[in-house]
Amino acid sequence: MSDKMIRGNTLPALTWRWMDVNDVEIKLKNKDIIPYTALDGVGKIDERMKQVFYDLDHGISEEVVRMNNEQCNLANHWEISDNKPIELKLPQSKENPLLVDQNQIVVPPLQNGTVVLYNFSEDETRVERNSTVLIDVENDAEMTLVLIQRLNEKSVSNVSVVARVGDGARLNLATVELGAGNTVFHYMVDMEGFGAESHVKTAYLGSGNDRLDLFYHVRHIGEECISDIQVNGALMDHAVKSFRGTIDFVEGCSGSDGNEEEFAILLDDTVRSIAVPLLLANEDDIVGNHAASAGQIDDEQLFYLMSRGLSRKESEGLIVESRMTPTFDQIPDQELRDDLRREVHQRILRR
Amino acid sequence: MTKQNIDLRDRERILAEKAAKREVLKEARRKERAEKIKERTYVEEFDRGVYDIKNPNKYEIMLSKGLNEEIVREISAIKEEPDWMLEKRLEALAIYKQLEDPTWGPDLSELNMDEIATYIRPKAQMESNWQEVPDEIRKTFDLLGIPEAELDYLSGVGAQYDSEVVYHNMKDYLSLQGVVYTDFESAVEEYPEILQEYFGTCLKPDLHRYSALHYAVWSGGSFVYVPEGVEVDIPLQSYFRMNAPGAGQFEHTLIIVEKGASLHFIEGCSAPRYNTINLHAGGVELFVKEDAKLRYSTIENWSRNMYNLNSKRAIVDKNGVIEWISGSFGSRVSMLYPASILVGEGARSEFTGISFAGAGQTLDTGAQVVHKAPNTYSTVETKSISKGGGQAVYRSLVQVDEGAYGCKSNTDCQSLMLDSHSRGDTIPTIILKNDDVDFGHEAKIGRIDDQAIFYLMSRGLSEEEAKAMIVRGFAEPVAKELPLEYAVEMNELINLELKGAIG
C-alpha cells in the first residue's frame, strides 16, 4: 500500500500557490476491497453513462474516481418512473468501515424525482466513504437530490456529484454536512439545455478539528440558464472550512443568470474560514453575482432573542439553525428534518 | 389499450408540444437579445497618439541580452555600487534560478529572458533642469506633458528613460523640510544606512520569480523620504518611459513616510509599440509609519508588447493609511497585485483600481491585504472592463491572521464586458483565521444595462454617447480619486480604448 498523497477538487482557474487553496489533500486510506453489508444495490450500473459523465468532469480527482471503480461495494442505478421519493439510509460502523458507492440517477423527460442519500455512523469506528453520484436530468424533468452526512469525527467522507441538465429541466441539490472529521464534497453540473436550472443549498456545521472542503463548479452552457449556490453554516472549535465555488459562463450561454452566496458564522476564535468564490465569464450577455460574508452572530439578533429570555447559547443555536432552514426544508422526511435540527442545536449548546 | 400505454402516448404528445413551443420561444428570445445587442464593429489597432512616438534607439551602453552572473556584475560595476548591493544582486540571481514561473494566471511562455536586454543606459546624464536633458528625450516627456505638469501641480518630478533616470527635481521648500526625493542610484550612494535597513525588507527577493529577477538587475527608480510630521501637500511624480525594443525595465521605488507625515506619489508608465517583447518588472516598497498617510497612484499605459510583471508592497504601522489608486490600460500581459501588510493596530488600506483589457491583452490584476494586527481596516474597490477578446481578471487575497481581532474588510469588484469574445473573471480568496471579523465581499459581472442606455437615449444622447457615458460612469469611482489632470488623462484613455468598441 503506497502512501502517495492524493489531491483533488482542483480549482478550474488556479491562483497563488502559497495560499494552498488550489486543491485539497484527500485522506482516503483504505485500499482494500471489502463488502458493504447494510443493504443491496438497486438496478444495473450503466457503463456508458459513466464514461460520458467522467468525460465531462472527473469528480474530486481521477484517482478518487478510479478507487471508486475498483473498490465499489454498493451500486445503484435508478430510472425515475414515478414521483415517489427514494430514501436510502447508508449506515457505517465497525462492520461496515468502508462504503464505496456508485449511484446513477436518470430522470426521463417530464419526470419529477427525489433521492435522499443519508450516510451516518452507528458507532465510534473510523470509517471511510468514497461516493459518486451521476445525474442525468432530461428535458423538462426535475430532480431533487438530498445528501446528508453524519459520520463521526474520526471519519472521512468524499462525495462527487456530476450532473447534466437538459432543456427546461431543473436540478435541486441540498447537502447537509454535519459530520466527518474530513469532508470533501464535489459538485459539477453542465447546464446544457435551454433554460436549464441548477439550485444548490448547503448547510454545514464544523466543530472539533473538522476539515470541510466544499467545491462547486456550475457551468452555464445553454442559453438562459439559471443557477444559484447558497452555502450557509457555522464553525466552532478548531474547524476549518473552505468554500470554493465557481460559476462558469461558457461562450454562447447568453441570457444566463448565475448567483453564489456564502455566509459563514464564526463561533470561536480558533476557527478558520476560507472562501474562494470564482466567477468566470466568457460571454457578455449574462448576469453573475457573488457575495461572501463571514463574521460573528449579529449582536442585535442575539440581544433580541436574549431579551426574550433565551440563554446566549440557545439564541446562537436558534440563529445558526435558522440559516440552515432553507436546506433542511428540502428534506421530505419530517422526522429526519427535526432530528438534524436537534443535532445542530445540541452541538451548539454543548459547546 | 392499457392505461400505461395511454400515459406513454400522452407523454410523447406533451413532450413534442413542449419541444415545439420551446423552439418558438428560443427563436423569439434570441431575436430579442440580438436586438438588444446591436452589431458592433471593432477597430483592433488604433493610434495611441503621443504614447506611441518612438525615438531612434540611441544608447550609451546596452548590455547583451540574457541574464547571467556576468551581466549582473557588469550592471553593478557600471553603477559603481558598494559591495553589499552586489551581494544582494547575486543572492537574488541565485533565487531567480531556483524559482519557476507561476502555474496559475496568464501564459508567460512567450517571455524569453534570453531575448531581453536587462540594462540600457540612454545617452544622457541625470539633470535637474529640463533644458539640459537631450532634445529627443525631452521631447518625449514634453509630449507626455511631464514638464508642464511639474510646473502646474507637482512638487517634484523624476523621469526615467529606459534603465536610467534622466531628470530629477523637487521644489526647494520641501528639501528645506528634510524631504528627500532622488533617483535610486544616488540614494544608494548618499543614504547607505537607510537603504541597508529598508532595501528588500518589504518586498523580498524570494517572493516570486520576477521579484528575484528585479533584485538581480534593478536599475533606476526613486527614493522618497518624508521626515516625521512633514505633510507634502502637492504630489510627487515619477514617470517611467521605455523606448528601446526587446528590453527590460526594472526600476526600484522605495518610499518611507515617517510618523505623522503624509505624501501623494504618482507613478506613470508608457512605452511605444514594437513587435518584440518587452518586460517591466519593477519593485515598489512602501513603509508607512505610525499615523502616516501615503497615497500611491499609478496610471499605467504600456504598449501592447509589454509583459508587466510588477510587484508592489506596503507595510503599514499603527494608525497609518495606505491608499492605492491603480489604473491598468496597456501591456500585453499584466500581473499586478499591490499588497498591503497591516502590521500596526488601526492601520488602514484602501485600494481603488480599474483595468481595461482590449484585444490581445490579459490584465490579471487585483489586490492583496493581510490583516496582521487588531482593528485594522481594508477596502478594495475594483472595476474591470474587457472588450474585443481581451481578458480582464480580478485576483485578490484578503487574509485576517490569528489574533487580529476587530478587523473590518470590504471588497466590491465589478466586471463589465463589452462583447462575448472577451473574458471577465474574478478569482478572490478569503482566509479568515479568527472569529472577530466583519467581512464582506461582493462581485458583479455582466454587460451594460439596456435600460440605462435606453434612458440616456430617451434624453437625446446617441447610443454611442450613452454607452461611453456609462463606461465613464463605471470608472468614476477611480477617476475621482485622481488629481484632476490625471482623471482627464484617464478619461481620454478610456475614450481611446472605447473607440471602435462602441459605436
- Domains of chain B: which residue ranges? 49-336, 449-503
Q: Specify the pLDDT at position B50.
A: 62
What is the Cα–Cα distance from A345 to A311, expressed in whole angstroms?
13
Cα dist from B9 to A143, A166, B3, whole Å:
23, 21, 10
Cα gap B382→B400, rounded to integer Å: 20
The arithmetic mean of pLDDT across residues A191-211, rounded, is 93
Position B21 pLDDT exceeds 80: yes
How many structural domains is chain A composed of? 1
Q: Would you state the torsion angle of the CA atoms of residues B327, B333, B335, B336, taken in this order, to the nearest 10 degrees? A: -20
Contact by Cβ (8 Å): B487, B475: no
- Among the partner-chain residues A110, A267, A292, the one whose CB lies closest to the CB of B11 is A110
Instruction: With beta carbons less than 8 A apart as the criterion, state whether A323 and A203 touch.
Output: yes
SS (H, E, C) B44-99: CCCCCHHHHCCCCCCEEEECCCCCCHHHHHHHHHHCCCCHHHHHHHHHHHHHHHHC
Report the residue from B105, B432, B443 with minimal CB separation from A289. Answer: B443
Interface contact flag, A281 B423, Cβ < 8 Å = yes
Q: What is the pLDDT of residues B453-489, one digit of tens each?
A: 888 888 888 877 787 788 878 877 777 776 666 677 6
What pLDDT digit, counting tens, does each position of A73-90 carry? 999 999 988 778 899 999
Q: What distance in Å separates the CA atoms of residue A182 and residue A25, rounded to the nearest whole number?
A: 10
- Closest partner CB to A272 (pick from B22, B433, B444): B433
C-beta atoms of A285 and B33 within 8 A: yes
Contact flag B18-A168 (C-beta cutoff 8 Å): yes
Q: In 3D, which of A311, A187, A325 has the Cα closest to residue A245? A: A187
Q: Give pLDDT, residue B2.
A: 45
**Mean pLDDT along residues A42-69:** 88
How far apart are the C-alpha atoms of A170 and A161, rounded to whole Å? Answer: 15
Whether B100 contacts chain A with CB within 8 A: no
The C-alpha atoms of residue A197 and residue A224 are separated, in whole angstroms, by 9
CA distance B316 to B322: 7
Q: Which of A116-125, B118-127, B439-448 is predicted least confidently? A: B118-127
* Most confident option among A51-60, A239-248, B477-486: A239-248
Residues A55 and A130: their CA atoms lie apart, in Å, by: 19
Helix (H) or strand (E) holding B136: helix B135-143
Question: A80 burial class (0-12, 13-18, 19+ CB within 10 angstroms)?
Answer: buried
Q: What is the arithmetic mean of pLDDT over A106-132?
A: 92
- Give chain A positions within 8 Å (CB) of B36: 285
What value does the mean pLDDT take over residues A159-167?
94
- C-alpha radius of gyration, chain B, whole number: 25
Inter-residue contact A241 to A215 (CB < 8 Å): no
A88 Cβ under 8 Å from any chain B Cβ: no
Nearest to B435 among A276, A281, A296 (CB): A296
A350 in a structural domain: no
Q: What is the pLDDT of residue B40?
A: 43
The least confident of A88-92, A185-189, B34-38 is: B34-38
Q: How far is A197 from chain B (nearest CA, A)?
A: 15
Q: By three-state DSSP, how is residue B27 classified?
A: helix
Q: Residues of chain B with pLDDT > 90: what percent?
A: 29
Distance, CA of A277 to CA of A246 (rounded, Å): 6
Closest residue, chain B, to A109 (C-alpha): B15
> In this model, does residue A66 exceed pLDDT 80?
yes
The per-residue pLDDT for A194 is 92
**Which of A255, A282, A288 lies nearest to residue B33, judging by beta carbons?**
A255
Instruction: Note the pLDDT of residue B453.
Output: 81
Q: Could you tell me if residue A351 is inside a domain? A: no
Phi-psi map region of B204: left, alpha, beta (phi>0 left; psi -120 to 50 alpha):
beta
Count of alpha carbons within 13 Å of B338, Cβ hemisphere only? 25
Q: Which residue has the cell 482623471?
A: B487
Residue A123 carries which DSSP code? S
Q: Determine the length of chain B.
A: 503
Higher per-residue pLDDT: A133 or B147: A133
Q: Considering chain A, what percentage of its residues have pLDDT values greater than 70?
A: 99
Give the pLDDT score at B359.
Answer: 84
Instruction: Give the pLDDT confidence score for residue B378 in this predicted structure.
Output: 94
Which residues have a Cβ under 8 Å from the Cβ of B379 and sit 6 or more positions away?
Answer: B349, B350, B351, B409, B410, B411, B412
Which of A325-339, B19-33, B471-485 is most confident? A325-339
SS3 breakdown of chain A: % helix, strand, coil, rounded to 5?
20, 45, 35
> Which three three-digit cell numbers place residue B94?
541565485
Contacts 24+ apart (CB under 8 A), A65-71: A65/A132, A65/A160, A67/A28, A67/A31, A67/A100, A67/A130, A68/A100, A68/A102, A68/A130, A68/A131, A68/A132, A68/A160, A69/A102, A70/A33, A71/A30, A71/A31, A71/A32, A71/A33, A71/A98, A71/A100, A71/A130
Q: Do B429 and A275 touch (CB under 8 A)?
A: yes
Question: φ, ψ for residue B376 (rounded to 5)?
Answer: -100, 155
How does residue A132 score in pLDDT terms, banded at 50, 70 and 90? very high
A268 inside 8 A of chain B by CB: yes
Would you say residue A91 lies in a domain? Answer: yes
What is the percent of chain A where pLDDT is above 90?
Answer: 55
pLDDT mean over A163-175: 94
Cα separation, A96 vs A151, whole angstroms: 12
Beta bridge partners of A104: A77, A134
A285/B445 Cβ within 8 A: no
Q: Does B443 touch chain A (CB under 8 A)?
A: yes
Comparing B48 with B176, the larger pLDDT belongs to B176
Of B142 and A246, the one with more pLDDT: A246
Is residue B184 within 8 Å of B192, Cβ to Cβ?
no
Compare all CA atoms of chain A with the CA of B442 and give the residue at the minimum distance. Answer: A291
Decide if B446 and A109 are in contact by the 8 Å CB cutoff: no
- Which residues on chain A are in Cβ contact (under 8 Å) with B37? 284-285
Q: What is the mean pLDDT of residues A211-226?
A: 94
B430 touches chain A (CB under 8 A): yes
Residues 16-75 of B with CB under 8 A from A: 18-19, 22, 26, 29-30, 33, 36-37
Render pLDDT for B155-184 as a digit per residue (tens, 0 to 9): 677 778 777 777 778 888 888 899 998 888
Residue B438 in this model has a pLDDT that exceeds 90: no
Residues in A closer than 8 angstroms to B30, CB to CB, are 223
> Which three cell numbers mark A273?
474560514
- Alpha carbon distance, N-terminus to C-terminus of chain B: 64
Beta strands in B372-406 (DSSP E): 377-386, 391-400
The yes-or-no verdict on residue B503 having pLDDT over 70 is no
Residue of A nearest to B431 (CA): A274
Q: Give the pLDDT confidence score for residue B5 in this predicted structure.
A: 52
Q: What is the pLDDT of residues B379-425, one digit of tens each?
A: 999 888 888 888 999 999 999 999 899 999 998 888 888 887 888 89
ipTM: 0.85
Phi/psi of residue B133, each to 5°? -70, 135
Share of chain B above pLDDT 70, in %: 88
Q: What is the mean pLDDT of chain A?
A: 90
In this prediction, residue B7 carries a pLDDT of: 67
Whether A281 sits inside 8 A of B417 (CB atoms) is: yes
Does B201 score more than 60 pLDDT? yes
Give the CA distances from residue A133 to residues A74, A136, A177, A186, A330, in Å, rounded to whole numbers and listed in that order: 12, 10, 16, 10, 18
Q: Would you say residue B125 has pLDDT above 90?
A: no
Question: Which residue, among A16, A80, A138, A223, would best test binding to B if mutated, counting the most B CBs under 10 Å from its CB?
Answer: A16
- Beta carbons of B155 and B234 less than 8 angstroms apart: yes
Name the pTM for this structure. 0.86
pLDDT for B175 equals 85
Examine residue A26 and state whether it is found in any structural domain, yes or no.
Answer: yes
Alpha-carbon span B373 to B401, nearest angstrom: 8
Distance of CA B433 to the CA centre of its chain: 29
Kindly indicate the confidence band of residue B502, based on its pLDDT and cuts at 50, 70 and 90: very low
For B65-79, letters b (16+ CB in 10 Å) and e give bebeeebbebbbebb
Give the pLDDT score at B8: 66
CA–CA separation, B503 and B469 (whole Å): 12
pLDDT value of residue A1:
42
Closest by CA to B392, choosing from B429, B430, B428, B366, is B366
A251 touches chain B (CB under 8 A): yes
Residue length of chain A: 351
Please, which residues 127-146 of chain A have a Cβ atom closer than 8 Å to chain B? 139-140
Phi, psi dihedrals of residue B421, rounded to the nearest 5°: -90, -15
Task: Inform me whether the C-beta atom of residue B428 falls under 8 Å from chain A C-beta atoms.
Answer: yes
Do B428 and A267 make contact, defined as CB atoms within 8 angstroms? no
The closest of A285, A291, A347 to A320, measured between CA atoms, is A347
Say whether pLDDT at B1 is over 70.
no
Give the model's confidence band at B501: pLDDT under 50 very low, under 70 low, under 90 confident, else very high: very low
Q: Which of B289, B341, B325, B331 is nearest to B310 (CA)?
A: B331
Residue A168 contacts residue A142 (beta carbons within 8 Å): no
Task: Compute the distance between CA of residue A74 and CA of residue A71 in angstroms, rounded to an integer.
Answer: 9
Inter-chain residue contact A140 with B18, CB threshold 8 Å: yes
Residue B321 pLDDT > 90? yes
Contact A292 B419 (CB under 8 A): no
Q: Taking the alpha carbons of B134, B137, B141, B144 in that order, is the dihedral positive or negative?
A: positive
Which run of H or E residues covers position B339? Answer: strand B339-342
What is the residue range of A121's domain? 6-307
Lowest-confidence pick of A146-155, B67-76, B150-159, B298-307: B150-159
Nearest to B321 by CA among B294, B285, B287, B344: B294
Enter the C-alpha cell of residue B72.
549582473
